[in-house]
């Protein structure tokens, strides 16, 4: 998979990131670690690994992913967590959907048959269900896990989208704008593992409100 680059936002993941990079070492792919320049502990944690360190322009999860997409040099990219929750063995099926089935975006899902999560909570499950339902009703999205950012795509397609979110609302902006642009979208089965270390950076209530208002703005700005 030398034509694939993993975009790995890794703010404050000094404990888990080395273990993730150890696991990824057996796969032939490129790894771009996206960090804030002030995150010295995590920068040091990557010192002995074959990966590229790219610094964000600003702060925020969405800003990190936008920088990652901007700097990818391969035909395909995949957003990949630095906490160990994503299984790299699932990458093969996802890239086959791009190459063989000619999809443009592949959104992994924990809510397909024989899938699941060791990291989901009742609150995040309910929130995700609501936002996924809103995506189906208002944007005609046919994905089952809208907030799960295990996403693989054609780099050229993602760069054609006017992505503006700097926070976690990027999670909904990406599929909504990909759908609006007419790109071929599908889902891929996934099982989310428990994070290796550290804490979740998502605040269910605060970030949930941001995502909700982001979807409202997108609904009125875009003619879907």
Helix (H) or strand (E) holding 79: strand 76-79
How far does Cα 114 stand from its chain's mean position?
Answer: 21
d(CA 157, CA 122) in angstroms, rounded, equals: 34
4-221 topology per CATH: Spore Coat Polysaccharide Biosynthesis Protein SpsA; Chain A (3.90.550)
Domain ranges of the chain: 4-221
Please say if the pLDDT value at position 224 is more than 60: no
Q: How large a percentage of the chain has pLDDT more than 70?
A: 99
Helix (H) or strand (E) holding 18: helix 17-24
More confident residue, 144 or 200: 144
- Determine phi and psi for 91, rounding to 5 degrees: -65, -35
pLDDT at position 45 = 93
The Cα-based distances of 158 to 100, 163, 170, 182 in angstroms read 19, 9, 12, 12
189-198: burial string, b at 16+ Cβ within 10 Å, e else: bbbbeebbeb
Provide the pLDDT confidence category of residue 141 given band limits of 50, 70 and 90.
very high
Please say if the pLDDT value at position 132 is more than 70: yes
Q: What is the pLDDT of residues 24-54, one digit of tens each?
A: 999 989 999 999 999 999 999 998 899 999 9
Look up the pTM and report it. 0.93
pLDDT at position 223 = 62
- Determine phi and psi for 185, rounding to 5 degrees: -125, 140
Provide the pLDDT confidence category of residue 200 given band limits of 50, 70 and 90.
confident
Locate the DSSP E strands across 99-150.
105-109, 116-117
Q: Which of 78-92, 118-132, 166-180 shows the lowest per-residue confidence on average (mean pLDDT)?
A: 118-132
pLDDT at position 120 = 85
The Cα-based distances of 102 to 88, 133, 144, 154, 208 in angstroms read 21, 26, 20, 10, 33
Please say if the pLDDT value at position 128 is more than 80: yes
d(CA 171, CA 62) in angstroms, rounded, equals: 8
d(CA 7, CA 54) in angstroms, rounded, equals: 10
pLDDT at position 54 = 95
pLDDT at position 2 = 84
Q: What is the mean pLDDT of residues 181-210?
A: 87
| Angle, helix 204-221 to helix 170-180, in steps of 10 degrees | 20
d(CA 16, CA 151) in angstroms, rounded, equals: 20
Of 144, 223, 133, whose CA–CA distance to 177 is shortest?
223
pLDDT at position 186 = 96
pLDDT at position 95 = 96
């Amino acid at each position: 998979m030398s034509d694939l680059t993993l975009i790995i936002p890794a703010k404050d993941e000094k404990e888990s990131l080395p273990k993730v990079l150890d696991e990824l070492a057996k796969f032939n792919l490129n790894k771009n670690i996206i960090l804030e320049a002030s995150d010295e502990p995590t920068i040091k944690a990557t010192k002995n690994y074959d990966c590229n360190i790219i610094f964000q322009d600003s702060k925020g999860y969405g800003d990190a992913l936008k920088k990652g997409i901007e700097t990818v040099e391969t035909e395909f990219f995949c957003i990949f967590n630095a906490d160990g929750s994503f299984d790299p063995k699932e990458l093969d099926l996802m890239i086959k959907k791009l190459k063989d089935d000619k999809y443009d975006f592949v959104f992994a899902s924990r809510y397909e048959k024989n899938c699941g999560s060791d990291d989901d909570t009742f609150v995040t499950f309910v929130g995700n269900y609501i936002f996924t339902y809103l995506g189906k009703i208002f944007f005609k999205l046919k994905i089952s896990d809208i907030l799960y950012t295990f996403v693989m795509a054609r780099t050229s397609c993602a760069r054609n989208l006017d992505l503006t979110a700097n926070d976690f609302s990027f999670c909904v902006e990406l599929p909504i704008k990909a759908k609006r642009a007419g790109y071929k979208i599908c889902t891929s089965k996934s099982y989310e593992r428990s994070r290796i270390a550290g804490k979740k950076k998502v605040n269910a209530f605060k970030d949930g409100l941001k995502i909700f208002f982001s979807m409202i703005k997108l609904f009125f700005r875009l003619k879907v």
